[in-house]
């Protein structure tokens, strides 16, 4: 029997509303570009291709933000097609090379936590970042992040795993570190962060 979904917070509803309102115009732009391409309206300079790449990136980021910051919903499993779409969106939006080794069908709250953790990795792994994402049969997630250059984000990860409070002046681009403890608590999880020579090892 599925657990009853908790009431969404105000910031979750705001995020969902923004994403909802932007999806339709982005889809319309994509459809218009497809029609232009079919009609040979590129002009030979690759303009529609560049716009198409921007639309794809914006759409991927909206998918990521909707799941990471919007209402997580109940604990129903994601369908494989939904998970595959989210993995593709993650790679595009975060510019991380992902080795997705997740077994079984994750729940929405689990996937939300994974998205937030990977967003944190995106801010920590500066040069040629990659991550291996695994989930065992018991539902334990293990994420190994590696990069040629790694930012010192130990203070941010202390916020993410609940050891420190988020400062009032936390930059908007880092808000996922402050939201992650709430998402983990809602999913009944705790984050463990280990700093390695190659990067970061995270489990929840």
Domain count of the fold of the chain: 1
Specify if 96 maps to a domain: yes
From first to last of its 204 residues, what are the pLDDT tens digits of the chain? 455 555 667 777 787 788 788 888 888 888 888 877 777 766 555 777 788 888 888 888 888 888 888 876 666 656 776 777 778 888 888 888 999 999 778 888 999 999 999 999 988 998 889 999 999 888 899 999 999 988 888 999 999 999 999 999 999 999 999 999 999 998 999 999 998 888 899 999
DSSP state of 6: P
Q: What CATH number is attached to the domain comprising 28?
A: 3.30.565.10
Specify if 160 maps to a domain: yes
Three-class HEC string of 42-97: CCCCCHHHHHHHHHHHHHHHHHHHHHHHCCCCCCCECCHHHHHHHHHHHHHHHCCE
Q: What is the pLDDT of residue 143?
A: 97
Specify if 5 maps to a domain: no
Write down the residue that tokens 């917070």 correspond to.
9
Specify if 58 maps to a domain: yes
Strands 141-146 and 149-150, by their bridges, are: unpaired
C-alpha dist (Å) from residue 100 to 21, 49, 105, 145: 30, 28, 13, 12
- Per this entry, what is the length of the chain? 204
Write down the residue that tokens 């050891």 correspond to.
163
Q: What is the pLDDT of residue 11?
A: 76
Specify if 183 maps to a domain: yes
The secondary structure of 154-173 as a DSSP string is HHHHHHHTTSSPPPTT--GG
Q: What is the pLDDT of residue 73?
A: 65
Specify if 1 maps to a domain: no
| End-to-end CA gap in the chain | 23
User: CA triplet 193, 195, 198: central angle to 5 degrees?
Assistant: 130
Q: What is the pLDDT of residue 106?
A: 86
Angle, helix 80-94 to helix 108-124, in steps of 10 degrees = 20
Specify if 159 maps to a domain: yes
Which range of residues forms the domain containing residue 169? 10-203
Specify if 3 maps to a domain: no
* Greatest distance between any 2 Cα atoms in the chain: 57
Rounded to two decimals, what is the model's pTM? Answer: 0.81
User: CA triplet 9, 15, 17: central angle to 5 degrees?
Assistant: 105
Query: Do 193 and 157 touch, CB atoms closer than 8 A?
Result: yes
Q: What is the pLDDT of residue 75?
A: 60
Write down the residue that tokens 């929840």 correspond to.
204
């Amino acid at each position: 029997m599925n657990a009853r979904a908790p009431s969404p917070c105000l910031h979750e509803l705001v995020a969902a509303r923004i994403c909802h309102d932007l999806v339709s115009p982005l889809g319309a732009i994509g459809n218009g570009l497809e029609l232009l391409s079919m009609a040979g309206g590129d002009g030979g300079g690759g303009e529609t291709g560049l716009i198409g790449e921007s639309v794809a990136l914006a759409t991927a980021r909206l998918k990521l933000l909707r799941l990471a910051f919007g209402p997580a919903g109940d604990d129903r499993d994601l369908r494989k097609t939904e998970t595959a779409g989210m993995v593709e969106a993650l790679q595009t939006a975060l510019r991380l090379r992902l080795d997705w080794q997740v077994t079984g069908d994750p729940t929405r709250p689990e996937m939300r936590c994974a998205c937030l953790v990977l967003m944190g990795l995106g801010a920590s792994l500066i040069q040629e970042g990659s991550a291996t994402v695994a989930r065992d049969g018991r539902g334990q997630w293990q994420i190994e992040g590696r990069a040629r250059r790694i930012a010192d984000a130990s203070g941010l990860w202390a916020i993410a795993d609940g050891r420190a409070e988020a400062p009032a002046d936390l930059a908007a681009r880092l808000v996922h570190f402050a939201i992650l403890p709430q998402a983990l608590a809602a999913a009944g999880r705790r984050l463990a962060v280990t700093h390695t020579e190659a990067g970061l090892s995270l489990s929840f």
